[in-house]
């Protein structure tokens, strides 16, 4: 499968991305104190089905996973960085929730994630989320023809490090198209001028994951999916699917 998409294929991916964006918006609206993660998963399932799309995460089983992912969305609360399973946990005031959503429409995949506070925000948590969104914006801005992947990674990682945040440097984004995870890897850290050249028609998911406290370490829960910060501090995750075009980066996962 070629990493390079035609404008017509990118238009189809934009349609898939729109389903993901509207689903994330509905989940965000539904997220409130007392609501369970499982209930949010039901909201996402209904949204994706209503659009005639298919969830990308449900029963997803990459080579490294011993059990398939049991949810439609990933719901990662507080010290959970990514890949949290939508279970019976009920959201509490001031929880930091990251929601990751992927969907296929007409054979093409969209993948995006948002982080937000439920109820009353702790200012440090809001700053973490803002820093994660800013790192994503810098990564997207670097997704330009002629730049290299190292420039993109540096844009993300440099911003995170300067802010004093930990970073999941060995987890990152990915090429995306007819499959959710494809070539190339899109690292969250890098050295300017290194890596593959970004060319017209490349479509990638860019997804910084930042942790409070400046430590990069993490571990997996017994559920084998949920990835938690080793220092127990909160983490945030933001993601968009982005096309590299002659007109600059185009975000495919906007409403």
Quick one: 96 or 180, whose CB is closer to Mg ion? Answer: 180
Provide the minimum distance between the beta carbon of 110 and Mg ion in the complex, in angstroms, as a whole number: 9
The reply to whether 48 sits near Mg ion by the rule CB under 5 A is no
Which is nearer to Mg ion, 94 or 179 (by Cβ)? 179
Residue 100 interacts with Mg ion (CB under 5 A)? yes
> Which region, judged by CB under 5 A, interacts with Mg ion, from 62-70, 94-102, 116-124, 243-251?
94-102
Pairwise CA distance, residues 114 & 112, whole Å = 7
| Smallest distance, Mg ion to C-beta of residue 112, A | 6
Complete edge-to-edge strand list for the sheet that includes strand 235-237? 166-167, 209-211, 235-237
Residue 164 burial by Cβ neighbours in a 10 Å radius (0-12, 13-18, 19+)? exposed
Closer to Mg ion by Cβ: residue 102 or 195: 102
Q: Which of 95, 111, 125, 151 binds Mg ion (CB under 5 A)?
A: 111
* 45 class by beta-carbon count within 10 Å (0-12 exposed, 13-18 middle, 19+ buried): middle
Q: Residue 93's CB: how many other CB atoms inside 10 A? A: 12
CA dist 33 and 42 (Å) reads 17
User: Which residue, 190 or 208, is less far from Mg ion as judged by CB?
Assistant: 208
Binding range to Mg ion, per CB under 5 A, among 19-27, 103-111, 192-200, 217-225: 103-111
**Shortest distance (Å) from residue 100 CB to Mg ion:** 4
Residue 5 CB, shortest distance to Mg ion, in Å, is 17
Least CB distance to Mg ion at residue 240 (A): 9
The separation between CA 245 and the C-alpha centre of its own chain, rounded to angstroms, equals 21
Q: Does 205 bind Mg ion (CB under 5 A)?
A: yes
Contact between 225 and 210 under an 8 Å Cβ cutoff? The reply is no
Nearest to 116 by CA among 91, 131, 101, 99: 99
Residues of this chain that bind Mg ion (CB under 5 A) = 100, 111, 113, 205, 239
């Amino acid at each position: 499968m070629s990493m390079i998409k035609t404008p017509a294929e990118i238009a189809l991916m934009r349609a898939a991305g729109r389903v993901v964006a509207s689903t994330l918006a509905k989940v965000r609206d539904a997220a409130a104190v007392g609501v369970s993660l499982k209930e949010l998963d039901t909201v996402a399932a209904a949204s994706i089905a209503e659009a005639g799309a298919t969830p990308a995460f449900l029963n997803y089983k990459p080579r490294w996973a011993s059990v398939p992912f049991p949810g439609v969305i990933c719901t990662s609360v507080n010290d959970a960085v990514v890949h949290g399973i939508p279970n019976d946990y009920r959201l509490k005031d001031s929880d930091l929730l990251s929601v990751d959503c992927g969907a296929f429409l007409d054979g093409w995949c969209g993948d995006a994630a948002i982080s937000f506070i439920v109820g009353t925000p702790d200012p440090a948590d809001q700053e973490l989320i803002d820093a994660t969104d800013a790192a994503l914006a810098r990564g997207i801005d670097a997704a330009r023809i002629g730049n290299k992947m190292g420039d993109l990674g540096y844009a993300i990682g440099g911003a995170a490090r300067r802010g004093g945040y930990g970073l999941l440097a060995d987890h990152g984004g990915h090429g995306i198209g007819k499959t959710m995870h494809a070539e190339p890897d899109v690292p969250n850290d890098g050295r300017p001028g290194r890596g593959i050249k970004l060319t017209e028609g490349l479509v990638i998911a860019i997804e910084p994951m930042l942790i409070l406290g400046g430590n990069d370490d993490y571990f997996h829960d017994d559920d084998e999916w949920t990835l938690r910060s080793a220092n127990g501090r909160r983490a945030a995750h933001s993601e968009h699917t982005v096309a590299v075009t002659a007109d600059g980066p185009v975000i495919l996962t906007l409403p």
